């Protein structure tokens, strides 16, 4: 069970998928009022969801890029 949990926690593709889903969910919630909310300073939970999704997505993409660099070095 512990091995299974570690594999899921370390799966970059799963984290990329989750980041996209969370960011899109947040954007669907605040998409229509995003500009007005930032201009008026009205921050809601949907804005935080978007930021968490984008952060998660960027973190997983950096892991994928780093892994591809290691693979490239290994092939040379």
**Which is nearest to 34 in space by CA: 12, 51, 17?**
51
How many Å apart are CA 24 and CA 18, to the nearest integer? 10
Q: Give the model's confidence band at 76: pLDDT under 50 very low, under 70 low, under 90 confident, else very high.
A: low
Among positive and negative, which fits the CA dihedral 57, 59, 62, 64?
A: negative
> What is the count of structural domains for the chain?
1
pLDDT over 80 at 16, yes or no: yes
Q: What is the pLDDT of residues 26-52, one digit of tens each?
A: 888 887 787 777 788 887 777 888 888
Q: Where in the sequence is the domain holding 66, given as residue range(s)?
A: 2-75
Q: Tokens for 28, please give them.
A: 């669907």
């Amino acid at each position: 069970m512990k091995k299974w949990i570690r594999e899921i926690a370390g799966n970059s593709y799963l984290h990329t998928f989750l980041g996209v889903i969370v960011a899109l969910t947040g954007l669907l919630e605040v998409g229509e009022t995003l500009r007005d909310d930032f201009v008026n300073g009205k921050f809601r939970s949907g804005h935080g969801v978007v930021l968490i999704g984008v952060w998660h997505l960027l973190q997983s993409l950096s892991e994928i890029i780093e892994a591809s660099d290691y693979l490239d070095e290994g092939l040379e």
